[in-house]
Amino acid sequence: MIYQRYIPAHELFSAQLELLMQNGQLPTVAAHLIGVAAALAMFWPFLDPTAMLLWAGAFLALLLLRSLHMSRALSSHAYRIAPRWVYAWLVLGSAATGTIWSAVYIYAAHHVPITMQYTFLLLILMITAISVGFSVILREYFIVYLFTAIWPIAWWSLANYWEQPYNLVLGLVLLAFCALLVVICDRMYRSFRNMISLNWEREAMSRELGELTHSLRERNRQLRDARQQLTCLANIDELTGLGNRRMANSALNDEINRARRTGACLSLVMLDVDCFKAYNDTYGHPAGDRVLQRLADLMQRATTRAGELVARFGGEEFILILPGACAETALRTAERLRQLVEEEAIPHAGSPQFGVITVSQGLLTLEPGTDAQPGELVSRADQALYRAKQLGRNRVVVAGPSPSADIGAAPPG
């Protein structure tokens, strides 16, 4: 994202149009309606009522058209789509309104008493002064009104200075008044532009900061997901989808500490695929990988209790961590797993005894109160597994207090 410090010229122009129409629509109509009502009240005894009513109706129609134009431009966002067109109509409406006031004054100057003439002039000046407050948002909009409403009256007064005793002074004062309003208008216009620019800059900064915050949150989420993914990659075996040796060591250490605190049993099973090298030599390594994947599914089916973990310890060797399982329960789990593998009947021509894939297992149970390290437990379970291999494979050997006291469990039949 590139921060843009200053508002573009076309956006500033559109913002000025929008602000003018939002803030000038109601005051414009209200001020001129008051002027029309006051003019009718002052000139009713001196001018033709029919002509005055026609004038008032035409003036009201002009005000209504100007108001409708502003409303339509705001609702359709025409000030953004076609700002020059909206601007032209606004200036044209302002010029028409100012011209009507000056024309009425010049006409009334020949038909009404001088006091009424000057009172009407004060009314026009009051409307002009009120217009300064909202019209200077767009400088040209106000200047056009000023030079169509006041400027003609000033020059008419100078040109006809002999008709009224104060026309010369009045004309000069009106010219000075116009000059003063132009200066005031220019300064207020610049202040409005600066205000719009500052507001735009603050909004742009807030929008950029909001987008940046959203981007940072999204980036943090991506980083968090990436960390989780890396953690999974570091702890999950890619081939089988089981935990790897790193996860197994960490989980075993946690379960040993928990067993010490709670006094619960903890069982550990080391499992190895019988004659797996011969299987790979006979069927190829891709077939061996598929066997490991099928065995992983069987191990997960055999370990259904909460907290039990199956991990690939390396090669064709797996580890089962069974928290809360005593020796008898763990033996049933291991035996059930052995039977599931045998019933799967995966052909293995290289197996000298069984002709199908079988597994050997070494089981170790950590009794409550026993103090041992994870490496020691894995070593003893591995020794029991080695003993199962020596006894003929396809069996579970329960590790005793010492390697010489291991208990072999031969397969049935």
Query: Active-site residue numbers?
Result: 316
Could you tell me which of 407, 385, 364 has the C-alpha nearest to residue 256?
364
**How far apart are alpha carbons 254 and 231 in whole angstroms?**
17
Q: Name the H helices within 236-284.
A: 245-262, 276-283
**How far apart are alpha carbons 51 and 305 in whole angstroms?**
101
Tokens of 26: 């109601």
Rg (CA), the chain: 48
Q: Strands 317-323, 396-398: parallel, antiparallel or unpaired by DSSP?
A: unpaired
Where b means 16+ CB within 10 Å and e means fewer, 142-181 reads: bbbbbbbbbbbbbebbbeebeeeeebeebbeebbebbeeb
Count, residues in the chain: 413
- Contact of 237 with 312, CB cutoff 8 Å: yes
Q: Strands 407-409, 309-314: parallel, antiparallel or unpaired by DSSP?
A: unpaired
Whole-Å CA distances, 408 to 101, 115, 261, 360, 389: 117, 129, 31, 11, 10
- Contact of 363 with 384, CB cutoff 8 Å: yes
- Contact of 82 with 108, CB cutoff 8 Å: no
Where b means 16+ CB within 10 Å and e means fewer, 31-53 reads: bbeebbeebeebbeeebeeeebe
- Contact of 86 with 79, CB cutoff 8 Å: yes
User: Counting Cβ atoms within 10 Å, is residue 397 exposed (0-12), middle (13-18) or buried (19+)?
Assistant: buried
